[in-house]
Amino acid sequence: MSTQESQPSGRHAIVCGGSMAGLIAGGLLARHFERVTLVERDRIEEGPRQRKGVPQAQHLHGLLTRGMDILCDIYPGFREELKAAGARFLDMSAEHAWHMAGLWRPRLPSGVQFHAQSRPLLEWTVRKRLLALPNVRVVDGREVTGFQVSPDNARVTGVRLRVPGGGQEETLEGELVVDATGRGSRTSQWLEALGYPRVEETRIHVDLGYASRICRPPPGFEPGWGLMSIFPNMPQERRFGAIEQIEGGQWLVLLGGWHGEHPPMDDAGYLEFARSLRQPHLYECLQKAEPLGPISVYRFPHNQRRHFERMRRFPEGLAVVGDAFCSFNPLYGQGITTAALQVEVLGACLREGVEGVAQRYRRRAGKALEVPWLLATSGDLRFPEAEGRRPPGLGLLNWYSERFQRLAGHDEEALRTFVRVLHMLKPPAAMFAPRFILKVLTARPDAAALSRVPECPTSSSTSQAA
Ligand X SMILES: Cc1cc2nc3c(=O)[nH]c(=O)nc-3n(C[C@H](O)[C@H](O)[C@H](O)COP(=O)(O)OP(=O)(O)OC[C@H]3O[C@@H](n4cnc5c(N)ncnc54)[C@H](O)[C@@H]3O)c2cc1C
Task: List interacting residues with ligand X (CB under 6 A).
Answer: 16-22, 39-42, 53-54, 56, 59-62, 143-144, 180-183, 210, 298, 300, 322-324, 330, 333-337, 339
- Whose Cβ is closer to ligand X: residue 158's or residue 333's? 333
Distance of closest approach, residue 89 Cβ to ligand X, in angstroms: 15
Helices (H), 381-442: 394-407, 412-422, 434-442
Distance of closest approach, residue 444 Cβ to ligand X, in angstroms: 33
Residues 6+ apart with CB under 8 A from 334: 64, 328, 372, 375, 376, 424
CA 148, chain centre distance (Å) = 31
How far, in Å, CA of 123 to CA of 334, rounded?
Answer: 15
Report the phi/psi class of residue 182: left, alpha or beta, with left for phi > 0 and alpha for psi in -120 to 50: left
Distance of closest approach, residue 281 Cβ to ligand X, in angstroms: 21
- Whose Cβ is closer to ligand X: residue 18's or residue 280's? 18
- Whose Cβ is closer to ligand X: residue 161's or residue 407's? 161
- Whose Cβ is closer to ligand X: residue 16's or residue 36's? 16
- Whose Cβ is closer to ligand X: residue 54's or residue 74's? 54
**Cα-based distances in Å from 50 to 80, 119, 122, 386:** 23, 9, 11, 32
Distance of closest approach, residue 287 Cβ to ligand X, in angstroms: 24
Distance of closest approach, residue 396 Cβ to ligand X, in angstroms: 28
- Whose Cβ is closer to ligand X: residue 81's or residue 140's? 140
Distance of closest approach, residue 330 Cβ to ligand X, in angstroms: 3
Distance of closest approach, residue 465 Cβ to ligand X, in angstroms: 27
DSSP 279-347: SSHHHHHHHHSEE-S--EEEEEEEEEEE-GGG-S---BTEEE-GGGTEE--GGG--HHHHHHHHHHHHH
Strands 290-291 and 201-216: antiparallel
How far, in Å, CA of 115 to CA of 117, rounded?
Answer: 7
- Whose Cβ is closer to ligand X: residue 18's or residue 102's? 18
Residues 6+ apart with CB under 8 A from 206: 258, 259, 300, 301, 302, 303, 329, 380, 383, 386
Strands 296-306 and 201-216: antiparallel
- Whose Cβ is closer to ligand X: residue 46's or residue 152's? 46
Distance of closest approach, residue 276 Cβ to ligand X, in angstroms: 20
- Whose Cβ is closer to ligand X: residue 39's or residue 253's? 39
Q: Based on the number of CB atoms within 10 Å of its own CB, is 396 exposed (0-12), middle (13-18) or buried (19 or more)?
A: exposed
Contact (CB, 8 A) for 90 and 65? no
Distance of closest approach, residue 435 Cβ to ligand X, in angstroms: 31
| Phi, psi torsion values for 201, nearest 5 degrees | -135, 135
